[in-house]
């Protein structure tokens, strides 16, 4: 796996499992041969458009069979994959496209219209649309793959070269592009499969976005080992349970809220989920009580994991053959080294049981942040150890327990939200003098973002107006679920906002939330 590229996954597995069903999306099924041929045709189409080795191509669309084909076609020509969250606004997509100098962008027809102008403002030469309603200036996906079934001969690609740029919300208010090599991506998928004993006989199901590193890892490992991959276009508890029952899925991956909604569904008992032999959860910590409830009602364990975009997916996991220690995110994956470091002295490893920063090293660690040497140096120590920003502890058997986050990142239903990004947007409102954003506990999403806003003297503004302003500039999941107007914010002696003290304003506020 250390010597394989993403573009080699489908050609190699198609030789072994040609006619076997590889992908199921809705009512469409594709064999390994079909996926390989379709991605070959896409690679040929991209080559005709002048897109090839080293060019960056953005994928901005929801889960679909076209997304999967585009992903592997891009990899086959040696281009760099730039998968972005489908919930980003046109403004946010524009920033990413310009930052990574993307040459082509794949999206849906409705999403293409607001961003078609990027062809005049960036290095974009092509916008390719899935489905219908293709605006003027874009080309359809079907046109790109409309050639004859000719085998594509890929260029020789170094497995250690850049394969993917995944943007994460930046603590400075601007996203950072984590650079992942082919080795990062392929090895992570292989080791994730090994931890849960995933194999060709499995029917893998998920509603995770393929644009997220966790979803991409599950997609890649399914095709690498000949499993059948059942991909949900979006998460809906009833639809997911129906698909598990219909396809007799053996393994499921998701974030905790997916499990919460399934367990709470009024028709839960009417679905047969007995085919599941294990369920895997990541994105945020899973309450032990919910894991126990799932195992009691479904009959299979919930295996928790922890990962990072900067690792191309999981890095610490519960092993299917080991003890499923509830409350823990598991043990080191193969090829991963993990330790608990002194937050003030990263080179110092703390004794078992003490809380410090979780740090990881090994061949899964990213190449760095695209065009951002300063952020790279802050994230990766000279000896290769990567800062996670998470506070954790390790027991005597090597099980790792996430305790808290070192920084102020907010986790909403598995999505990372950084307060500085929201603060940067709200500060642009003409009536706002100062803003602080903090986390507020939420029973369903784990946490929600709450904004505490100080208005300029003699100005007025309703909390709902602040939220509407945010919706114009931020992805829906980043919009603060609550906005509170306050007379002042807690600050340090230097004027820095104390985000961890924002909750104290709850008791003194007279202006309400949404």
SS (H, E, C) 111-138: HHHHHCCHHHHCCCCEEEEECCCCCCCC
CA distance 168 to 310: 9
Q: How confident is the model at residue 2 (pLDDT cuts 50, 70, 90)?
A: low
In terms of C-beta density within 10 A (0-12 exposed, 13-18 middle, 19 or more buried), how is residue 381 classed? middle
Q: Are 43 and 136 members of one domain? A: yes
Query: Once rounded to an integer, what is the mean pLDDT over residues 480-486?
Result: 95
| Rounded-to-10 torsion of CA 328, 334, 335, 341 | 20
Q: Does the residue 188 lie in any domain?
A: yes
Q: How far is CA 323 from the centre of its chain?
A: 27
Q: Are 379 and 459 members of one domain? A: no
What Rg, from alpha-carbon coordinates, does the chain have? 23
Residue ranges making up the domain that contains 347:
6-147+156-390
Candidates 233, 194, 201; CA nearest to 215 is 233
Q: What is the pLDDT of residue 307?
A: 95
Q: Are 374 and 419 members of one domain? A: no
Candidates 393, 398, 368, 372; CA nearest to 380 is 368
Q: What is the pLDDT of residues 193-237, one digit of tens each?
A: 999 999 999 999 999 999 999 999 999 999 999 999 999 999 999
Q: Does the residue 93 lie in any domain?
A: yes
Q: Does the residue 402 lie in any domain?
A: no
Q: Are 374 and 435 members of one domain? A: no
Cα angle 224, 157, 17; round to 5: 25
Q: What is the pLDDT of residue 507?
A: 63
Query: Once rounded to an integer, what is the mean pLDDT over residues 11-36?
Result: 97
Half-sphere exposure of 4 (CA within 13 A, CB side): 18
What are the Cα distances from residue 78, in Å, to 7, 22, 58, 184, 307? 8, 23, 14, 16, 26
Q: What is the pLDDT of residue 514?
A: 44
Q: Does the residue 133 lie in any domain?
A: yes
Among candidate residues 390, 420, 447, the one where a domain is terminated: 390
Q: What percent of the chain has pLDDT over 70?
A: 95
Q: What is the pLDDT of residues 348-396, one digit of tens each?
A: 999 999 989 999 999 999 999 999 999 999 999 999 999 998 889 999 9
Please say whether the beta carbons of 63 and 210 come within 8 A: yes
- What residues pair up with 228 in beta bridges, in sequence order? 203
Q: What is the pLDDT of residues 275-296, one digit of tens each?
A: 999 999 998 778 787 888 899 9
What are the Cα distances from residue 31, in Å, to 24, 115, 131, 239? 9, 34, 21, 23
> Can you tell me whether residue 289 is helix, strand or coil?
helix
Joined together, the tokens standing for residue 346 give 């990263």
Q: Are 348 and 246 members of one domain? A: yes
Q: Are 378 and 425 members of one domain? A: no
Among candidate residues 356, 390, 424, the one where a domain is terminated: 390
CA distance 312 to 185: 5
Q: Are 427 and 382 members of one domain? A: no
Please say whether the beta carbons of 218 and 3 come within 8 A: no
Q: What is the pLDDT of residue 511?
A: 40
Q: Does the residue 493 lie in any domain?
A: yes
Q: Are 369 and 493 members of one domain? A: no
Joined together, the tokens standing for residue 9 give 């996954």
Residue 420 has pLDDT above 80, yes or no: no
Q: Are 287 and 168 members of one domain? A: yes
CATH of the domain at 435: 3.30.300.30
Q: Does the residue 398 lie in any domain?
A: no
Joined together, the tokens standing for residue 472 give 């114009």
Half-sphere exposure of 282 (CA within 13 A, CB side): 26
Q: How many residues does the chain have?
A: 514
CA distance 39 to 288: 42
Q: Specify the number of domains making up the chain.
A: 2
Q: Are 362 and 438 members of one domain? A: no
Q: Are 303 and 419 members of one domain? A: no
Per the model's pLDDT, the better-predicted residue between 270 and 510 turns out to be: 270
> Can you tell me whether residue 380 is helix, strand or coil?
strand
Q: Are 65 and 205 members of one domain? A: yes
Kind of pairing, strands 432-442 and 415-417?
unpaired
Q: What is the pLDDT of residues 463-477, one digit of tens each?
A: 999 999 999 999 999
Contact partners, residue 175, CB within 8 Å, separation at least 6:
92, 95, 96, 99, 167, 168, 169
DSSP H helical ranges for 231-349 = 237-247, 256-264, 288-298
Q: Does the residue 440 lie in any domain?
A: yes
CATH of the domain at 105: 3.40.50.12780
Among candidate residues 355, 390, 425, the one where a domain is terminated: 390
Choose the most confident range, by mean pLDDT, from 62-66, 408-412, 421-425: 62-66
Residue 452 has pLDDT above 60, yes or no: yes
In terms of C-beta density within 10 A (0-12 exposed, 13-18 middle, 19 or more buried), how is residue 453 classed? buried
Residue 118 has pLDDT above 90, yes or no: yes
Residue 186 has pLDDT above 50, yes or no: yes
Cα angle 186, 283, 164; round to 5: 35
Q: What is the pLDDT of residue 428?
A: 85
Q: Does the residue 287 lie in any domain?
A: yes
Q: How confident is the model at residue 456 (pLDDT cuts 50, 70, 90)?
A: confident
Q: What is the pLDDT of residue 42?
A: 96
- Lowest pLDDT segment from 339-348, 404-413, 444-453: 404-413
């Amino acid at each position: 796996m250390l010597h394989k590229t993403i573009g080699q996954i489908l050609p190699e597995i198609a030789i072994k499992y040609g006619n076997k069903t590889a992908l199921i999306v809705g009512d469409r099924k594709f064999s390994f041969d079909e996926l390989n041929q379709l991605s070959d045709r896409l690679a040929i189409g991209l080559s005709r458009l002048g897109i090839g080795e080293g060019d960056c191509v953005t994928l901005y669309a929801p889960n679909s069979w076209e997304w999967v084909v585009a992903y592997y076609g891009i990899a086959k020509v040696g281009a760099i994959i730039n998968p972005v969250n489908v919930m980003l606004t046109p403004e946010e997509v524009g920033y990413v496209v310009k930052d990574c100098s993307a040459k082509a962008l794949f999206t849906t027809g409705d999403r293409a219209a607001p961003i078609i102008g990027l062809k005049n403002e960036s290095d974009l030469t092509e916008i390719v649309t899935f489905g219908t309603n293709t605006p003027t200036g874009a080309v359809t996906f079907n046109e790109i793959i409309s050639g004859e079934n000719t085998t594509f001969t890929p260029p020789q690609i170094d497995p250690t070269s850049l394969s993917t740029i995944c943007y994460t919300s930046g603590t400075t208010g601007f996203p950072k592009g984590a650079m992942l090599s082919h080795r990062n991506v392929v090895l992570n998928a292989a080791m994730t499969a090994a931890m849960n004993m995933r194999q060709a006989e499995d029917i893998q199901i998920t509603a995770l976005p393929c644009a997220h590193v966790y979803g991409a890892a599950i997609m890649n490992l399914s095709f690498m080992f000949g499993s059948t991959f059942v991909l949900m276009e979006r998460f809906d508890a009833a639809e997911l349970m129906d698909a598990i029952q219909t396809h007799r899925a053996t393994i499921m991956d998701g974030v905790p809220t997916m499990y919460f909604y399934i367990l709470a569904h009024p028709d839960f008992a009417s679905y047969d989920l007995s085919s599941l032999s294990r369920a895997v959860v990541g994105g945020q910590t899973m309450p032990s009580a919910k894991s126990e409830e799932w195992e009691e009602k479904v009959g299979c364990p919930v295996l928790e994991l922890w990962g990072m975009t900067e690792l191309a997916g999981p890095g610490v996991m519960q092993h299917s053959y080991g003890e499923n220690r509830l409350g823990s995110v598991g043990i080191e994956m193969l090829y991963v080294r993990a330790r608990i470091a002194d937050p003030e002295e990263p080179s110092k490893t703390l004794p078992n049981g003490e809380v410090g920063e979780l740090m990881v090293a090994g061949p899964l660690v990213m190449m760095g942040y695209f065009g951002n040497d300063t952020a790279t140096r802050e994230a990766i120590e000279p000896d290769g150890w990567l800062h996670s920003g998470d506070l954790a502890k390790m027991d005597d058997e090597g099980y790792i327990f996430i305790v808290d986050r070192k920084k102020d990142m907010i986790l909403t239903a598995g999505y990372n939200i950084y307060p500085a990004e929201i603060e940067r947007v709200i500060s642009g409102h003409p009536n706002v003098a100062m803003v602080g954003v903090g986390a507020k506990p939420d029973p369903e999403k784990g946490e929600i973002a709450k904004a505490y806003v100080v208005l300029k003297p003699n100005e007025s503004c309703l909390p709902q107006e602040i939220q509407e302003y945010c919706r114009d500039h931020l992805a829906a999941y980043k919009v603060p679920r609550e906005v509170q107007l306050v007379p002042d914010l807690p600050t340090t002696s230097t004027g820095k906002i104390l985000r961890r003290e924002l909750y104290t304003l709850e008791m003194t506020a007279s202006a309400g939330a949404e």
